[in-house]
Amino acid sequence: MHSSLRAGVLAAVLGGLPTAAVVAQQPTPARVTFSGYVRDARTGENLIGVAVVHPGSGQGTATNTYGFFSLTLPATGDTTRLLTSYLGYQRQLRPVRLDKSQQLDIRLQPASSELQSVEIVGTREEQIARTTRMGTMNIPISQMKAVPALFGERDVLKVLQLLPGVQSGGEGQNGLYVRGGSPDQNLILLDGTPVYNASHLFGFFSVFNADALNNVELVKGGFPARYGGRLSSVLDMSMKEGNMQEFHGEGGIGLIASRVTLEGPIKKDTASFIISARRTYIDVLARPLISLAMAAEGIPADERPTIGYFFHDLNAKVNWKLGPRDRLYLSAYTGRDKFYARMKDKRGSSDEYSKMKNGLGWGNLTSALRWNHLVNDRLFVNTHLTFSRYQFDVGIEQEERRNDNGTLRTDKYALKYLSNIRDWSLKSDFDYVPLPDHYIRFGGQYIWHQFRPGAAQAKSNNPDDNINFNIGSRTQAQEMSLYAEDDYKVTERLKVNGGLRLNSFLVRGKLYPSVEPRLAARYLLTEDWSLKASYARTTQYIHLLANSGIGLPTDLWVPATPKVKPQKAQQVALGAARNVRFKDEDYEVSLETYYKPMQRLIEYREGASFLGTTDSNWEDKVTSGQGWAYGAEVFVQKKSGRTTGWVGYTLAWSRRRFAELNQGQIYPYKYDRRHDATLVVIHQFSPTLRLSGTFVYGTGNAVTLSRGSYTLGPDFYQFDDYGPRNSYRMRAYQRLDLDLSQTKKKKWGEIVNSFSVYNAYNRRNPYFLYFDPGYQNSYTGQTQKPTYRQISLFPILPSFSKSFRF
C-alpha cells in the first residue's frame, strides 16, 4: 500500500491529476517516451518548432530551439505511426511500436520545388488557434528574403516593421517601436546573446545578415517566464548551424554592399561550420565623385580631404556533436560602422604641414559557448556562457609640423569620447516534458554588467600643453533571475501557460528585487476558433538615453541606480484566433487588443544631451515619468501556396507624462501613430520567376514646432513659443515597393537576379521639417511668408542585385 500511494503522488504531480488518492485507486498505465531530434535531411540542420503528433490519440508536441522533442504515450504494445510536419518540408509518417521508450533521429526532406507540391497541410499543433501564446510572430526566412528591400539589401528588421504592432522610427530607419515602446525596450537575442545596437548606416540597415539566420521569432506580449529584462518585446534569432553533409555557399552583390556565406562539415555527421561576411563599399564608390567635385572647386589633389563611410559584419559558428546526448556550439558576431575624414594642409615649405583626422565609430561584439545535454528522454538542458559588448566613440587627431627657429618640430594632439556597455552571462535552461499535456521549462541566469556611459581622453606629446587627462569610470552591476513555466492542457478546450520569474539587480550597494507573474490561456470555441488572454509583469534594469533628432548612434546605455529606478510595465491582452481554409488554401487570422501602462521611464531634461555625459553626471541630466500604450491589431497571414504574404492593421495610442517636461501634462509619444496598415504579397509565377510587393500606410509622426516668436528686452532677444510637446502631426506616410526576381539554374548551383523599386510611385514622405523665415524685397515688393518646409529623403529608387547559391 505504501508503494502504491507513493506512485499515486508521483503520478499526480506529473500528470496534473486532482488528488493522489484518486490515482492510487486507478493506477496510471505504463507509458513509453519517444524523444530525439528533427533535422533537415540534406544539411543536418536542427529544425525549430516542428510538430510531432500521434494521429491516433491527437497527442503531440513541438521541437524546441535545438530541434529536440519528447512525446510520452500509453504503452499498449500496438504498432502505430508518428506524424512529423513542418512548413516547407515533406510530411513524414514513421511506424513505431508502443512497447518501449526509444530515441528517434527524424530527417525531413524539403518540399519539392514544383508549385503543385509546395503547399503543406498543417496539423492541429501547428495551428494558431490552438497555441496558448499571444503576440508571437514567426516569419519564414524564405519569405523575409522575398520581401522588396531598400537598395536590394534584405533586412530582417525592416520585414518585422511590416507586422501589426511594430513601427519604424522614420523613413528608411530600422528601429523597432513595439506596442508604444522605445527601441531600448526590445530584447534582441542572437543565439541567446543580447545585441545592444542593431543598426548599420546611421539606422538604415540592420546588423543581421539573413543568409546566416535559421529562425526569427518576435514576441510582442504574453511573454513566457523564460524571457525577461525588457518591457516591450523579445526578438529571438538563431543562426544556422552549418551543413554537416557537404560544402555549400551563397552570397550576393548589391548597389552598396556584398555578402558571402560558406558552410560545410568539419567531420561529416559530427561537426560543421558556417561563416558569413558582409561589407559595404560606399566609401570606395563615393571617393572618386568627391574628388571630382573638389577638383572643380580648384582644390589641389594633395590637399583634398578624404571622406568616407563603411560598415562590415561577420558571423561565425561551429557545432560539434560530442555524442548522442551532447552537443557543443561556439558562435560569434562582430560588426562595426566607421565614418572618417582626413585632411592635410601644407605650409610654406614641403617639410611643414598640418594634418587632421576625425572619426565616428560604433559596433557590437558577441560570443556564445553553449552545451546541449539530454539528461534522459524527458529532460533536456542547455547551458550557455555569453559575452556582449557595444561601443561608440568619437575622436579627433591633429598633427602639426613646423620650423621652430631652424628645428623641425612635430606636435600631436588627440581627443576621444567613448561610451560602452559589456555583459558576461551564465545561463541554464531546462525543458522537461513528463506528459503531452505538460511542457515544463525552468532555469536561471546570472549577468555581470559593466557600464561606461561616457569617458573623455586627451593626449599631447608636448609637455608644455599639460592637457593629458582621462575622465570617466565604469559602473558595475549584477543581475540574477530564476524562472519556471508550464504549458498545461487543463481540458481539451482549455490550455494555460503559467509561470513566474524572480529577478534581482545589485548596483552601488542597492538591491532591486522583482516578482513577475506571467499567464496566458486559450479556450477553443470550435476546432478552428479560440479566445485568448494574457498578462505579464516586466522589469527593465537598464536605460537608453536617447537624443531625439540626432541621426547618429549617440544613445547611451546606463543602469538603474539608487537615484534612477528601474523601468516597470504590465501588459494585459485579449484576442481571438482562427484557422481558415478558403478555396483549398490555409490562412491564419488573429485579433488582439492590449493595454500597457509603464512606470519610471526616463528622458533627458530640457536642453540636455549626451555631450559631456560621464558616469558621474548622467543622473543629473534625466527625469523620470510614466507612459501608457493601448490599441488593437488585426493580422491575416498565408504561409504556403503560389501566393503568400500577410495583411496587418494597427489602431494604437501611446502617451507619456513627465513632471519636468511639457509642464507636467500628458503628451503623445513621438512615434504615436493612430493608424498603421501593411500589405505584403509574394507570388511565385513559376519555380524560377517571383514577384513581390509591399504597401505601407501610417499616420504621421508627432513633432514639436514653434507656434510663433517674440522679441523682448533692450537687446531684442528672440524667444520661440513651442507650445505643447508633440502637438503637430507630419504628413501621413505611404509607400509601395516592388521586387521581381528570376532564378537561373546552373550546373554548379543557381543565380538569382532581382530588380527592386523602392517608393514606386515617388511619394514625398516627410523625413523632417525646418523653418523658413521667408523674406520681403523692398525694391520689387515680393514677399514670402514664414513657413515650415518638408524634407523628403528617398524618391523612387530602382536597384539591382545578384545573389548566388552553390
Instruction: Write out pLDDT tens, residues 453-481.
Output: 877 777 877 776 666 666 667 889 999 99
User: What's the CA gap between 568 and 598, in Å, rounded?
Assistant: 6
Q: What is the pLDDT of residues 672-690, one digit of tens each?
A: 999 999 999 999 999 899 9
Percent of residues, the chain, with pLDDT higher than 70: 87
Sequence-separated (6 or more) residues with CB below 8 Å from residue 304? 290, 291, 294, 295, 343
Angle at 596 between CA 592 and CA 597, to 5 degrees: 165
Neighbours of 515 (CB within 10 A): 10
Q: Which pLDDT does position 173 carry in this prediction?
A: 73
What's the whole-number mean pLDDT along residues 148-174? 83
Cα–Cα distance, 496 to 224 (Å, whole number): 11
Question: What is the average per-residue pLDDT within 502-510?
Answer: 95
Answer whether 233's CB lies under 8 Å from 186's CB. Answer: yes
For 133, the enclosing helix (H) or strand (E) is none
Give the model confidence (pLDDT) of 693-716 as tens digits: 999 999 988 888 877 776 666 666
Query: Which residues are CB-neighbours of 473 under 8 A, at least 6 positions away?
Result: 452, 455, 614, 615, 616
Is pLDDT at 503 greater than 90 in this prediction?
yes
Residue 43 vs residues 321, 342, 542, 753: alpha-carbon distances, Å: 14, 47, 40, 25
> Residue 784 is which amino acid?
Q
- The DSSP secondary-structure symbol of 763 reads -
Q: Which three cell numbers stand for residue 292?
A: 571630382
DSSP code of 303? G
In angstroms, the CA 170 to CA 204 distance is 10
pLDDT for residue 339 is more than 90: no
Q: How far apart are CA 678 and CA 759, in angstroms?
A: 14
pLDDT tens by residue, 63-75: 998 899 999 888 8
| Residues 362-403 pLDDT 10s | 899 999 999 999 999 999 999 999 999 998 888 888 888 877
DSSP string for residues in 689-748 = EEEEEEEEEEPPPEE----EEEEETTTTEEEEE--STT-EEPPPEEEEEEEEEEEEE-SS
**Where is pLDDT greater, at 486 or 56?**
486
How far is the CA of 756 from the CAs of 141, 187, 222, 687, 742, in angstroms?
19, 31, 37, 19, 12
pLDDT over threshold 70, residue 199: yes
Give the separation between CA 671 and CA 702, rounded to whole angstroms: 6
Summarised one tens digit per residue, pLDDT across range 254-313 is: 888 889 999 999 999 899 999 999 998 877 777 776 677 777 777 777 667 788 888 899
Q: Is 464 buried (19+), middle (13-18) or exposed (0-12) by CB count in 10 A?
A: exposed
Q: Which residue has the higher pLDDT, 354 or 680?
A: 680
- Contact (CB, 8 A) for 365 and 314: no
pLDDT recorded at residue 7:
40
Whole-number CA gyration radius for the chain: 29
Contact 493, 455 (CB under 8 A): no
Give the neighbor-by-neighbor strand order of the sheet with 233-239.
Answer: 136-138, 213-219, 233-239, 186-190, 193-194
pLDDT value for 447: 97
- For residue 17, the model assigns a pLDDT of 37
Asked whether the predicted pLDDT for residue 804 surpasses 80, the reply is yes
156 contacts 200 by C-beta, under 8 angstroms: no
Indicate the SS3 state at residue 240: coil
Cell of 73: 504515450
What region does 648 belong to: left with phi over 0, alpha with psi -120 to 50, or beta?
Answer: beta
Say yes or no to pLDDT of 19 above 50: no
Q: What is the pLDDT of residue 112?
A: 64
102-108 and 31-40 beta bridge pairing: parallel
**HSE of 165 in the Cβ direction (CA atoms, 13 Å)?**
27
pLDDT at position 6 is: 38
pLDDT at 724: 86
pLDDT for the residue numbered 639: 82
Give tens-digit pLDDT for 100-114: 888 889 999 887 644
What percent of the chain has pLDDT above 90?
A: 42
For residue 745, list its beta bridge partners: 750
> Strand, coil or helix: what is 201?
helix
Cell, residue 656: 507619456
Render pLDDT for 290-305 as a digit per residue (tens, 0 to 9): 677 777 777 777 667 7
Residue whose C-alpha cell reads 523692398 in the numeric block: 778
> What is the spatial distance between Cα 297 and Cα 276, in angstroms, rounded to a whole number?
42
Angstrom distance (rounded) from CA 456 to CA 470:
6
Per DSSP, 619 falls in state G
Strands 728-729, 787-792: pairing kind: unpaired
Query: What's the pLDDT score for residue 369?
Result: 96
Cell representation of residue 616:
558621474
Judged against a pLDDT cut of 60, whether residue 2 lies above it is answered with no
- Domains of the chain plus CATH, in order, are 2-122 (2.60.40.1120), 136-805 (2.40.170.20)
193-196 long-range contacts, CB within 8 A, separation 24+: 193/331, 193/333, 193/366, 193/367, 193/368, 193/386, 193/387, 193/388, 193/425, 194/366, 194/386, 194/388, 194/423, 195/333, 195/364, 195/366, 195/388, 195/390, 196/364, 196/388, 196/390, 196/421, 196/557
**Confidence band (pLDDT; 50, 70, 90) for 558?**
confident
Q: Coil, strand, or helix at residue 28? A: coil
Cell numbers placing 192: 541567446
Confidence of residue 614 (pLDDT cuts 50, 70, 90): low
Mean pLDDT of the chain: 84
Q: Which helix (H) or strand (E) holds 295?
A: helix 282-296
> CB of 364 within 8 A of CB of 399?
no
Q: What are phi and psi of 384, to 5 degrees?
A: -140, 145
Residue with cell 556562457: 385
Q: What is the mean pLDDT of residues 577-599?
A: 89
- Residue 116 is predicted with a pLDDT of 38
Residue 14 is classified by DSSP as: H
Helix (H, G, I), strand (E, B) or coil at 409: strand
What is the average pLDDT across 392-421? 81
Q: Which residue has the higher pLDDT, 204 or 678?
A: 678
Those residues whose C-beta lies under 8 Å from the C-beta of residue 43, and which sit 6 or more positions away, are: 242, 243, 244, 245, 248, 263
Q: Rounded to whole angstroms, how far apart are CA atoms 686 and 689?
A: 5
pLDDT tens track for 712-736: 666 666 666 777 888 888 899 999 9
Q: Is the pLDDT of residue 766 over 60?
A: yes
> Would the pLDDT of 613 be above 70?
no
